């Protein structure tokens, strides 16, 4: 589904990604771990299409197309979703209005008619239940005054509504207490199918107890320096990153 | 011949009463205000008063389809065509008639001109203890080419009564026109009034609007000014509180493009204790458009325990748009709560990326954020048809096909 080859990117003169190679197939869950400043969030922003980054070498192929040629909205239409580390507050727009607009615009781009309001509300209710989201939530302003946990839950709610093919969850576990973590992880697990894929970006092994990855990659200084199975995460938790980075 | 000479010549043939002659002479002596007048510092009438206008309306017939096109679809309508009252509804406890003369205390030149020469307008008198259930819509249509129209309107709301009104002045002459609109509202004890103005006109139309509202105790009055277009708009909105426990609310939206111009001047005169005022004006400026906001709050010495709030927030969406914003507080009482704030900014890039990453295209994302900015005012509109129209006009002006409801 996603093939990243020798990807290099940075901001202005500073090179952050120094040659990333990564292949993600349908049905897989990949975890990318690494110390602060290793380039984890840059990688997710570049895949989602944030324009602040200058992409130098390398290619990102998504379902046979060059992702780097597309605008952020086009990437979303093709099925890429980024759950933000710091979701943005948008006062004045309700959660329901925001989600309705993104869903309608995505459907429009794919040549589909907007969902009838009745169906849309039904779908929202189902997905809310999945994430144990309470009623009055839809009419609240987008992320405004939300707790850290509510913001992250809102990200996963949008993911559930937009049904992406590739979801990148950037530090989704940060700011979550144990109960919220369990609910969010449970939601992500239920949304997994053999046709979609997930990339988890995280500092800690904690999230991986709830969402079990097929592959774990260690990112350090802009490069993936080690890949392995889920047991790699446990090893990292035990020994820290120094063990690999100092080799 | 400039407008002032044209008016002087016109007045000679009008057989003005002695009182009117005095008022008119005062206008002639003052002349139209210029930029050296503090209240007109950022707003120039220079070009406007140099133009040629036709002071004599040419009455035309109006087709129902045109009324329906501009109406909100509200049942009770008052319709003026070229200054002629052609339609007014029958509502229990409400008397609606055409122009009836009255004095007022405004002594600025433009109000004096209106006072001396206006011959058209509406008079609405609501008896006491009447809750007017459906909103009343007032439509002014103009078809006379290059007309200079003056309307003088009066509204009296009897004790314990309630009413909602929507006003729309629509120029359909496809020419350069000017309207001098003056409305005087008396809110008696314990009344509740909501007055909405839709100002959505062509590039060539110019409007100077003055509204005076006199409030007695326990009255609540709200004025919403919704500007979606016009070559030149100047709104003077004056509230005078003359009894305790009054509340004056003002909300505004200015959404302008091309080289449109709109100026909102508000004045709240807190003369009595235990009253409130709330003011929320949102400006959105595209292309070469320009806005002015001047909000004056006066708290007189005896007006203790006043709670006054004022906000003017502006979005400049192009490099060539401008806003001049001036809050003005004069407080002579010592136990009051007054706050004001003014912001000028652009759309948040981070929020734009967030929305694009959710599949919302860049124009639509900008429109949604702009709507979000204006929503505090739009969502507060109590007449559903008006809220709906505002949402549509905003989407139309921002060139997107989005539905903001839900």
Number of H helices, E strands in chain A: 9, 13
Q: Each residue of A217-227: pLDDT tens digit? A: 999 999 999 99
Q: What phi and psi values does residue B218 have, to the nearest 5 degrees?
A: 60, 20
Contact state of A90 with B372 under an 8 Å Cβ cutoff? yes
% of chain A exceeding 70 in pLDDT: 100
Q: Which of B349, B353, B357 to mutate to test the interface with A (most CBs of A within 10 A)?
A: B357
> Per-residue confidence at A204, pLDDT binned at 50, 70, 90?
confident
> Per-residue confidence at A205, pLDDT binned at 50, 70, 90?
confident
% of chain A exceeding 90 in pLDDT: 77
Number of H helices, E strands in chain B: 8, 19
Average pLDDT over residues A57-72: 94
Answer whether B336's CB lies under 8 Å from B302's CB.
no
Question: Any chain A CB within 8 A of the CB of B357?
Answer: yes
What are the angstrom distances between the C-alpha of B233 and each of A109, A228, B85, B118, B343? Answer: 40, 68, 24, 19, 22
- The three-point CA angle B366-A169-A100 to 5° equals 40
d(CA B79, CA B96): 11
pLDDT given at position B401: 85
Question: What number of other Cβ atoms are within 10 A of residue A127's Cβ?
Answer: 21
Q: Each residue of A81-131: pLDDT tens digit? A: 999 999 999 998 999 999 999 999 999 999 999 999 999 999 999 999 999
With beta carbons under 8 A apart, name residues in chain A contacting B398: none
Tell me if the pTM is above 0.95. no
Contact state of B375 with A93 under an 8 Å Cβ cutoff? yes
Contact state of B368 with A98 under an 8 Å Cβ cutoff? yes
Q: Each residue of A127-144: pLDDT tens digit? A: 999 998 888 899 999 999
Question: Any chain A CB within 8 A of the CB of B373?
Answer: yes
Q: Is the pLDDT assigned to residue B266 strictly greater than 80?
A: yes
Q: Is the pLDDT assigned to residue B406 strictly greater than 70?
A: no
Strand pairing of A65-66 and A59-62?
Answer: antiparallel
> Per-residue confidence at B361, pLDDT binned at 50, 70, 90?
very high
Question: Any chain B CB within 8 A of the CB of A71?
Answer: yes
Question: Any chain B CB within 8 A of the CB of A84?
Answer: yes
Residue of chain B whose Cα is closest to the Cα of A78:
B359
List beta partners, residue B226: B198, B253
d(CA B138, CA B78): 5
Category of B44 on φ-ψ map: left (φ > 0), alpha (ψ -120 to 50) or beta:
beta
What are the angstrom distances between the C-alpha of B108 and each of A72, B32, B45, B211, B268? Answer: 55, 9, 14, 13, 17
d(CA A100, CA A115): 9
With beta carbons under 8 A apart, name residues in chain B contacting A91: 372
- Chain B: closest CA distance from residue A20 (Å): 22
pLDDT given at position A12: 86
Please, what are the domains in chain A? 2-245 (3.40.50.300)
Contact state of B362 with A71 under an 8 Å Cβ cutoff? yes
Q: What is the DSSP letter of B39?
A: G
Q: Is the pLDDT assigned to residue A180 strictly greater than 90?
A: no
Count CA atoms closer than 13 A to B47's CA, side-chain side: 10
Q: Each residue of B131-175: pLDDT tens digit? A: 999 999 999 999 999 999 999 999 999 999 999 999 999 999 999
Residue of chain B whose Cα is closest to the Cα of A50:
B353
Question: Any chain B CB within 8 A of the CB of A100?
Answer: yes
- Chain B: closest CA distance from residue A161 (Å): 11
Contact state of B360 with A50 under an 8 Å Cβ cutoff? no
d(CA B150, CA B55): 9
User: How many residue pairs bridge chain A and chain B with CB atoms within 8 Å of each other?
Assistant: 77
pLDDT given at position A247: 60
Average pLDDT over residues B314-323: 97
Q: Each residue of B292-312: pLDDT tens digit? A: 999 999 999 999 999 999 999
Joined together, the tokens standing for residue A89 give 């507050």
Question: Any chain B CB within 8 A of the CB of A107?
Answer: no
Q: Each residue of B367-383: pLDDT tens digit? A: 999 999 999 999 999 99
Question: Any chain A CB within 8 A of the CB of B86?
Answer: no
Question: Any chain A CB within 8 A of the CB of B362?
Answer: yes
- Chain B: closest CA distance from residue A51 (Å): 9
Average pLDDT, chain B: 95
Answer whether B383's CB lies under 8 Å from A183's CB.
no
d(CA A188, CA A152): 12
Joined together, the tokens standing for residue A146 give 């939300």
Contact state of A92 with B371 under an 8 Å Cβ cutoff? yes
Window 316-355 of B: residues touching A by CB (8 A cutoff) are: 348, 350-351, 353-355
pLDDT given at position A177: 87
Packing angle between helix A178-191 and helix A117-130, nearest 10 degrees?
Answer: 130
Task: Give the residue extent of every domain in chain B.
Answer: 3-362, 363-406
What are the angstrom distances between the C-alpha of B363 and each of A227, B160, B398? Answer: 41, 47, 8
pLDDT given at position B60: 87
Q: Is the pLDDT assigned to residue B191 strictly greater than 90?
A: yes
């Amino acid at each position: 589904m996603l093939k990243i080859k020798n990807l290099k990117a940075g901001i202005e003169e500073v090179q952050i990604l120094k040659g990333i190679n990564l292949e993600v197939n349908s049905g897989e869950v990949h975890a990318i771990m690494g110390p602060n400043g290793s380039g984890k969030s840059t990688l997710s922003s570049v895949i989602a299409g944030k324009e602040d980054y200058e992409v130098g070498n390398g290619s990102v192929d998504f379902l046979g197309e060059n992702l780097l040629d597309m605008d952020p909205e086009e990437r979303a239409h093709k099925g890429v979703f980024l759950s933000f580390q710091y979701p943005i507050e948008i006062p004045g727009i309700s959660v329901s209005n925001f989600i309705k607009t993104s869903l309608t615009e995505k459907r429009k781009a794919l040549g589909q008619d907007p969902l009838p309001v009745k169906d849309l509300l039904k779908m929202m209710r189902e997905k809310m239940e999945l994430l144990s989201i309470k009623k009055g939530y839809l009419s609240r302003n987008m992320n405004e005054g939300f707790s850290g946990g509510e913001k992250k839950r809102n990200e996963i709610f949008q993911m559930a509504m937009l049904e992406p093919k590739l979801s990148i969850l950037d530090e989704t576990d940060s700011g979550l207490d144990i109960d919220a973590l369990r609910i969010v992880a449970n939601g992500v697990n239920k949304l997994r199918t053999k046709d979609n894929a997930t990339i988890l970006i995280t500092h800690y092994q904690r999230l991986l107890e709830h969402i079990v990855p097929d592959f774990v990659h260690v990112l350090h200084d802009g490069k993936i320096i080690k890949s392995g199975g889920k047991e790699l995460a446990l090893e990292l938790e035990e020994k820290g990153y120094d063990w690999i980075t100092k080799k | 011949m400039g407008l002032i000479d044209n008016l002087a010549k016109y007045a000679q043939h009008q057989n003005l009463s002695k009182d009117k002659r005095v008022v008119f002479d005062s206008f002639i002596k003052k002349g139209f205000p210029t930029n050296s007048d503090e209240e007109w510092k950022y707003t120039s009438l220079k070009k406007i008063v140099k133009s040629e206008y036709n002071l004599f309306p040419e009455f035309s017939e109006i087709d129902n389809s045109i009324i329906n096109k501009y109406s909100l679809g509200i049942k009770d309508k008052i319709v003026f065509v070229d200054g002629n009252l052609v339609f007014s509804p029958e509502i229990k406890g409400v008397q609606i008639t055409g122009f009836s003369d009255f004095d007022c205390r405004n002594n600025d030149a433009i109000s004096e001109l209106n006072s001396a020469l206006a011959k058209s307008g509406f008079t609405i008198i609501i008896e006491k203890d009447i809750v007017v259930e459906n909103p009343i819509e007032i439509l002014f249509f103009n078809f006379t080419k290059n007309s200079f129209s003056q309307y003088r309107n009066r509204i009296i709301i009897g004790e314990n009564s309630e009413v909602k009104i929507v006003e729309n002045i629509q120029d359909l002459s496809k020419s350069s026109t000017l309207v001098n609109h003056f409305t005087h509202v008396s809110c008696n004890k314990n009344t509740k009034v909501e007055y909405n103005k839709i100002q959505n006109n062509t590039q060539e139309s110019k409007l100077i609007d003055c509204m005076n509202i006199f409030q007695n105790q326990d009255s609540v009055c709200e004025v919403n000014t919704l500007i979606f277009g016009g070559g030149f708009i100047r709104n003077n909105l004056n509230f005078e509180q003359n009894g305790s426990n009054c509340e004056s609310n003002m909300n505004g939206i200015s959404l302008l493009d091309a080289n449109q111009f709109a100026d909102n001047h508000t004045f709240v005169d807190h003369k009595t204790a235990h009253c409130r005022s709330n003011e929320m004006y949102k400006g959105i400026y595209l292309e070469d458009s320009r806005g002015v906001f001047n909000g004056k709050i006066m708290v007189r010495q005896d007006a203790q325990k006043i709670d006054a709030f004022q906000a003017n927030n502006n979005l400049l969406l192009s490099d060539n748009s401008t806003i001049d914003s001036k809050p003005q507080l004069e407080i002579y009482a010592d136990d009051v709560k007054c706050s004001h704030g003014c912001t000028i900014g652009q759309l948040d890039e981070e929020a734009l990326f967030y929305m694009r990453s959710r599949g919302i295209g860049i124009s639509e994302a900008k429109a949604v954020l702009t709507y979000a900015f204006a929503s505090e005012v739009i969502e507060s509109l109590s007449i559903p048809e008006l809220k709906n129209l505002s949402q549509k006009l905003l989407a139309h002006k921002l060139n997107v096909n989005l539905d903001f409801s839900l």
